Amino acid sequence: MAPAIYRVVSSARIALSYGPSYLFVVALRLLILVARGDIEDRTARTGVDLPPEKLSTSYDFIVVGAGSAGAVVASRLSEIEDATVLLVEAGGEEPALSDVPLMYPALQLSPLDWQYKSQPSDSANLAMVEARSSWPRGKVMGGSSTINAMLYVRGNRKDYDLWARSGNTGWSYKELLPYFKKAEDVGIGRLRGDPYHGQGGYLSVEEFKYYSPITDDFLRAGQEIGYEVRDINGQQQTGFTKSHGTLKDGLRCSTAKGYLRPAQGRPNLHIVLHAHVERLLIEKTTKRPTVKGVEFSRMGKRGIRVAANKEVILSAGSINSVQILMLSGIGPKEHLESKNISVVVDLPGVGKNLQDHIALGGITYLFDSPPESRPIGVGFVLPRVVTLNTLKKFALQKTGPLYGVPACEAMAFVNTKYANESEDWPDIQLLFASSGDNSDGGLFGRRNNGLTDDYYATVFEPILYKDAVSILPLLLRPRSRGAILLSDDDPASHPLIYPNYFNHPDDIEVMIEGAKIGYRLSQTEALKKYNIRLHNVPCTQCQNYTLLSDDYWKCQARQYTMTIYHPVGTCKMGPRHDPEAVVDPRLRVRGTRGVRVIDASIMPSIVSGNTNAPTVMIGEKGADMVKQDWGYRTDKVLKT
């Protein structure tokens, strides 16, 4: 343990630094108001929260959740001119601040976030308060695409071929690539016209407008250890790249911005905000229970019912789609009965098969910025980079560090000894941050990850605001499986989240090999010229292990088990013979009529990369399947 006085001093220092940082946020907000009409433009927002008296009693389609998938589905279905669409979202409008990339870490644990926490673990998340991991989820137009890190990554073609091979007809990479392209409007010059990229879609993809100078050296380090710098969303995934983002003119392009603002004027699309769907309305008289509508609460008023003439589409995300199904009586029988919910369809897979990406957090390398780069340096140290000058640059020149995301400026897909190199199906993603948990003085990283005071005081307080980078390995295809359960039958309660990180023994073995590849990068000329060195102060619980040994890495992995926020799989898509399948390959909920799930929860196995772009793709394909099944035209742009 750090001496008590040390912990108290650390906590006090952090508490005091909130003052200036809030001032900065307020200053930024005011500057946007006066100088950045492009961000401020209220009419450009989907601020079309439907007045209660305009709500119809029925719509052809009701989409629940305006997130990465739901915004896409609502936008595409409202292209059908003679169909009416209601989009029901629990959160409010996108605020102006979420447009600014650097504000990314400030959005968590705010009103834009559902603020979930996983259940305590005895073998992971040990450095976190109560051994619980924060699971942010967007509660706002655009859902998690409005609070995420904006990284644009599609995953590996083999991920999708695996889905298809397990019986999911129509979901091979070859069949899905047209949907990735349909969604995309690539603004990166050299990728325009590339056979793997799309132009004219609603999701704008760009390079970040700002990268810390040290980012290039990370790419060079990758080349030194034998990898190529390439477009990891193209022909081949293995390799290094600067991060590409879902960005428009350098600002966040959430799915609300990309897909719903252009659809705003459509008379057949109604959007209700601050409306929490509590359950599906189900008719049980027919052979198959048929979903006839939804019931939601809005601003304190409960029991608002709207009918669906054709279908309800659940796009509430991996946690909430499960919750809504279960509250409606669709889920594992015993569990529902134990919560006093009458069972409509016994569907054992609902909430099971939970998969998430975790990284081995806190791996910090100190370095020395070259004299000529000072005082700012080549990395990101909050008080040096975030200044009045930075604000001015952002407001007047539309450049500078506010256009960057230090938490992941570059990334790599690499092979540990457990992967087959010639397959191009890497098992580790390296996330390169131009900062460490010390660089923001504990304001965001520490708070968002829920680190204990003791951990922060012991490990990071001694190197406060020193130049640092992090190279974090992320386990791409975990074998552990978790679950989501209801805590009770109250729709306002948070469901119980059991990630079961490291339950499968292989996971930690692959993870620590990833940490070793990261360490190898620190030994390259490209990074050594900065006198780079592993920050070698272990936390109290790991101090008895030899630094860099397998046991040391394993200890740290169980302490700083860092979610990268990609829960998927809880409404698994699968063929009829798969007992755990919740939806069929056309995303219809088994044993029912009139309801589909279209969001990240349908992934049968997690993809080898960040999950936003794949979820947008699922939205595109899902919307097309709805159109096809009701005899509407899908558009003709679909060719590879």
Ligand X SMILES: Cc1cc2nc3c(=O)[nH]c(=O)nc-3n(C[C@H](O)[C@H](O)[C@H](O)COP(=O)(O)OP(=O)(O)OC[C@H]3O[C@@H](n4cnc5c(N)ncnc54)[C@H](O)[C@@H]3O)c2cc1C
Instruction: Name the residues that contact ligand X, by CB under 6 A.
Output: 64-70, 88-91, 108, 136-139, 143-145, 147-151, 153, 276-277, 315-318, 320, 324, 565-566, 599-600, 610-613, 615
Q: Residue 324's binding partner, choosing from ligand NAG, ligand X, none, with beta-carbon cut-off 5 to 8 A by kind? A: ligand X
401, 211 Cβ separation under 8 angstroms: no
Q: Residue 137's binding partner, choosing from ligand NAG, ligand X, none, with beta-carbon cut-off 5 to 8 A by kind? A: ligand X
Which of 336, 411 has the CB closer to ligand X?
Answer: 411
Q: How far is the CB of 330 from ligand X (least distance, A)?
A: 14
Q: How far is the CB of 325 from ligand X (least distance, A)?
A: 11
Q: Residue 423's binding partner, choosing from ligand NAG, ligand X, none, with beta-carbon cut-off 5 to 8 A by kind? A: ligand NAG
Which backbone phi and psi does 125 adopt, to 5 degrees?
A: 55, 25
The two tokens of residue 484 are 């989501």
Which of 531, 543 has the CB closer to ligand NAG?
Answer: 543
Q: Residue 315's binding partner, choosing from ligand NAG, ligand X, none, with beta-carbon cut-off 5 to 8 A by kind? A: ligand X
CA dist 309 and 500 (Å) reads 40
Which of 138, 379 has the CB closer to ligand X?
Answer: 138
Q: Which residues bind ligand NAG (CB under 6 A)?
A: 340, 420, 422-423, 541, 544
Could you tell me whether strands 483-485 and 496-498 are parallel, antiparallel, or unpaired per DSSP bridges? antiparallel
One of 357, 494, 566, 577 is an active-site residue; which one? 566
Which of 63, 469 has the CB closer to ligand X?
Answer: 63
**Can 566 be counted among the known catalytic residues?**
yes
Contacts for 611 with CB less than 8 Å, ≥ 6 apart: 357, 566, 568, 600, 603
Q: Residue 549's binding partner, choosing from ligand NAG, ligand X, none, with beta-carbon cut-off 5 to 8 A by kind? A: none
Q: Residue 422's binding partner, choosing from ligand NAG, ligand X, none, with beta-carbon cut-off 5 to 8 A by kind? A: ligand NAG
Say whether 626 counts as a known binding-site residue. no
Pick left, alpha or beta for residue 189 (phi over 0 → left; psi -120 to 50 → alpha; otherwise beta): alpha
Contacts for 535 with CB less than 8 Å, ≥ 6 apart: 364, 365, 366, 436, 459, 463, 468
Q: Residue 420's binding partner, choosing from ligand X, ligand NAG, none, with beta-carbon cut-off 5 to 8 A by kind? A: ligand NAG
Please report, for residues 141, 246, 522, the alpha-carbon distance to residue 516 in angstroms, rounded to integers and kept in the order given: 40, 30, 10
Q: Residue 544's binding partner, choosing from ligand X, ligand NAG, none, with beta-carbon cut-off 5 to 8 A by kind? A: ligand NAG
Which of 158, 266 has the CB closer to ligand NAG?
Answer: 158
Burial of 155: CB neighbours in 10 Å, binned 0-12, 13-18, 19+: buried
β-bridge partners, 413: 239, 429
CA dist 321 and 306 (Å) reads 18
Which of 347, 542 has the CB closer to ligand NAG?
Answer: 542
H helix count then E strand count, the chain = 17, 25
Which of 293, 538 has the CB closer to ligand NAG?
Answer: 538
CA dist 252 and 241 (Å) reads 20
Which of 565, 496, 562 lies closest to 117 in space, CA to CA?
496
Q: Residue 511's binding partner, choosing from ligand NAG, ligand X, none, with beta-carbon cut-off 5 to 8 A by kind? A: none
Say whether 34 counts as a known binding-site residue. no
Planar angle of CA 323, 327, 328, nearest 5 degrees: 120
28, 559 Cβ separation under 8 angstroms: no
Which of 115, 541 has the CB closer to ligand NAG?
Answer: 541
Which of 457, 542, 560 lies closest to 2 in space, CA to CA?
457
Buried-exposed string 73-97: b where 16+ CB fall within 10 A, e elsewhere: bbbbbbbbeebbbbbbbbbebbbbb
Q: How far is the CB of 385 from ligand X (least distance, A)?
A: 20
CA within 13 Å, CB half, 125? 25
The two tokens of residue 116 are 């979930």
354, 318 Cβ separation under 8 angstroms: yes
Q: How far is the CB of 541 from ligand NAG (least distance, A)?
A: 5
Q: How far is the CB of 421 from ligand NAG (least distance, A)?
A: 8
CA dist 136 and 204 (Å) reads 24
CA dist 148 and 203 (Å) reads 15
Please report, for residues 63, 131, 141, 414, the alpha-carbon distance to residue 293 in angstroms, rounded to integers and kept in the order given: 10, 39, 21, 47
Which of 180, 552 has the CB closer to ligand NAG?
Answer: 552
Burial of 200: CB neighbours in 10 Å, binned 0-12, 13-18, 19+: exposed
β-bridge partners, 92: 140
Residue ranges for the binding site for FAD?
Answer: 140, 277
Q: Tell me which residues are annotated as active site.
A: 566
**Which amino acids are annotated as binding site, given as ranges?**
140, 277
